[in-house]
């Protein structure tokens, strides 16, 4: 069973099976020490450029800004949910620390 993952509206939405599931303007807490010098990044997502599913996570390549220090850019591929039994299950993004896939792979 395949799941259709697409970025819509010039990067404003992640669509899963033609349903809009993740939008920019969410505030996320990141463990992304390469992004800025804050211990945890208070990250406001401004746009999605790509989406991937690696068997464990659905991850969006996201650009945005740390609202604490003003650093902006792309911290990496950020996991936002996963595919379970062919269904998308979104993570509780407001209440977790999101670690970019790149950072996780290095640790
Ligand atoms: Zn910062």
Distance 43 CA to ligand 1 centre (A): 8
What share of the chain has pLDDT > 90, as a percent?
85
Q: What is the Cα–Cα distance from 31 to 3, expressed in whole angstroms?
A: 28
What integer pLDDT is reported at residue 103 of this predicted model?
87
Q: Which residues contact 41 (CB under 8 A, 6 or more apart)?
A: 29, 30, 31, 32, 35, 66, 68, 71, 75
Write out pLDDT tens, residues 83-96.
Answer: 998 889 999 999 99
Q: What is the Cα–Cα distance from 11 to 23, expressed in whole angstroms?
A: 9
Distance 70 CA to ligand 1 centre (A): 6
Which residues of the chain carry a pLDDT beneath 50? Answer: none
Distance 99 CA to ligand 1 centre (A): 15
Distance 97 CA to ligand 1 centre (A): 14
Distance 33 CA to ligand 1 centre (A): 9
Q: What is the pTM of this model?
A: 0.92
What integer pLDDT is reported at residue 5 of this predicted model?
96
């Amino acid at each position: 069973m395949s799941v259709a993952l697409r970025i819509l509206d010039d990067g404003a939405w992640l669509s899963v099976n033609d349903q809009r599931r993740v939008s920019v303007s969410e505030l996320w807490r990141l463990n992304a020490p390469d992004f800025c010098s804050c211990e945890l990044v208070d990250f406001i997502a401004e746009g999605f450029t790509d989406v991937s599913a690696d068997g464990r996570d659905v991850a969006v390549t996201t650009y945005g800004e740390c609202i604490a220090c003003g650093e902006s850019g792309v911290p990496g591929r950020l996991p936002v949910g996963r595919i379970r039994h062919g269904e998308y299950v979104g993570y509780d993004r407001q209440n977790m620390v999101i670690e970019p896939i790149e950072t996780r792979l290095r640790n």
